[in-house]
Structure 1
């Protein structure tokens, strides 16, 4: 689960001067979470648009393609496919699986085939385990997952082992955001903020020419409270934050987080508690935020510098929270 606190108060409640731009706020539910969209529309264009219907229809298509909770969804059809069979896939599905494979190969810390591992640790639809899984069980599962067992071709998508399943929990929401952004831009709308389940994509500015501002959440806020850690101005970017500080459980004196390392099959256990990534694509930002959190502080720092990524890290130390902004992130502070 990815977290970022959108500052609608900071971004939309200033006393903006009169203009021909009408602020439109769209809200609803999608992908098991909520969406909030703020867009500025020229007054003369308003009667010609039905943005809420268009947005919800676009998100419905993405959900029908990528939700494992819809029985006849495209992803479930693939998950039931025998090894070796090639399934023709939609352009939306192809875009997400292609980027998921690329990120998996590049980071080694994001794997869209490890749904069974997530279930095994009790963070899927299955109940929480009553004891830690045996290492032999983890080893057997690790041997049968991995993006290297996916075969993407012009004809479609196939798997090389039976039982391989996809889960786009780290990329589908971001893709949904990108599709909504494309829809808005197809109507000539360039000043907007699109948020789904904490991830965002921002474009342009407010009618008073002030930039959009968003806040990174304080990861050690008391339970039930949400506090601002830092405000940034991301410009026209996708924004995603990943953290391990809200979804976890304790068993036999150990704390288990929902973020699983596909290299070990184990829930992560390190000091990195929050990662914020900026990228033109919300889908890519979404996947990278998860992967970098799994890596841990030092690996995430190195990867961000190697790939010139705008990344902001928050680590928990004995002396309190420690922050790090990559070279590419510093202009946004």
Structure 2
């Protein structure tokens, strides 16, 4: 998945550490085998390469992630789209086309319009009972905005099954905490902040991950500059363009990391004002950082986050 992972848990006597690590890595390997666009043999890659009109069966977990992504796509009016893989590739952030490779150039408006015409979540036909999806032709699924969160949830459930109910799981910066540390404290974490730029509110934002997950989407994570123009890895799937709305980062708290992950991307795409309205409608605990007209970075908590801090 091109990222790192870490797991911390409160140990028990005579724990088989090697067995625990093997179980964790087996879960992560399963996510890659099902949902990686970098592995040609993955279930997602198999769907992306299927001829038009083909119905493809998906493993249960992979289908569940797709279903969650489609639900958030509908709730966010397409600000999150698990079927925007062609746009991700065109802008140089996918497996097929990289912005750091020789000969790369950003897509033309014609290429973007073509991707919008045959892609997108609304073009999918889904047979939920059989867990299968129809390839309309040229559509590419991409779970980069939700699969890390799913991996976090998957590891947390596996740890619970192994009897480790006090743990902190992290995959690529997305976290989920359960239970307590040995000193009786919850798993305290600081919400991610942009690495540079003054914030009006200088205080740290600490959150206790006690049965909670957190995911952060930020335009500072991955980007490139082309002819003096900065292109973020977060693509607005409605327009087919990298976001340029002044949102620098969005952190979302949720019971499930998968939902926190996808909502963080969707709210980044929506822009500060619409994102906060959406957060209130969905009762999401969100900390949004946006750049104001004066260039300063300001934090905007949602009503649900303020209620948690009260």
Normalising by structure 1, we get a TM-score of 0.84
Contact map agreement 1:149 1:159 (CA 8 A) in 2: no
Contact map agreement 1:218 1:229 (CA 8 A) in 2: no
Q: How far does residue 119 in structure 1 lie from its aligned partner after superposition?
A: 1.6
Change beyond 3 A, Cα 1:113–1:201 = same
Change beyond 3 A, Cα 1:109–1:307 = same
| Aligned mates of 2:139, 2:105 — CA distance in 1 | 25
Give structure 1 regions of 4+ aligned residues with deviation exceeding 4 angstroms. 129-132
Q: How far does residue 132 in structure 1 lie from its aligned partner after superposition?
A: 4.9
Q: How far does residue 238 in structure 1 lie from its aligned partner after superposition?
A: 1.4
User: CA deviation digits over 1:128-150, x for unaligned, max 9?
Assistant: 37655332322221111111122
Task: Tell me whether 1:326 sits opposite 2:296 in the alignment.
Answer: no
Contact map agreement 2:215 2:252 (CA 8 A) in 1: yes
Q: How far does residue 110 in structure 1 lie from its aligned partner after superposition?
A: 0.9
Q: SS of the counterpart of 2:249?
A: strand
Task: Tell me whether 1:170 sits opposite 2:145 in the alignment.
Answer: yes
**Uncovered stretches (5+) of structure 1, i.e. residues with no partner:** 1-30
Residue among 94, 98, 102 paired with 1:124: 94
Change beyond 3 A, Cα 1:48–1:273 = closer
**Higher RCO (CA 8 Å, separation ≥ 6 residues):** 1
Structure 1 equivalent of residue 8 of structure 2:
38
Change beyond 3 A, Cα 1:246–1:54 = closer
Q: How far does residue 188 in structure 1 lie from its aligned partner after superposition?
A: 2.7
- 1:206-225 to structure 2, matched below 5 A, reads 206-221=181-196
- 1:158-197 to structure 2, matched below 5 A, reads 158-159=133-134, 161-197=136-172
| Aligned mates of 1:186, 1:124 — CA distance in 2 | 34
Structure 2 equivalent of residue 87 of structure 1:
56
**Uncovered stretches (5+) of structure 2, i.e. residues with no partner:** none
Structure 2 equivalent of residue 9 of structure 1:
none
The alignment of Structure 1 onto Structure 2 pairs a total of residues equal to 298
Q: How far does residue 307 in structure 1 lie from its aligned partner after superposition?
A: 0.8
Q: Give the superposed CA RMSD.
A: 2.1
Contact map agreement 2:56 2:134 (CA 8 A) in 1: no
Task: Tell me whether 1:55 sits opposite 2:24 in the alignment.
Answer: yes
Task: Tell me whether 1:97 sits opposite 2:66 in the alignment.
Answer: yes
Structure 2 equivalent of residue 8 of structure 1:
none
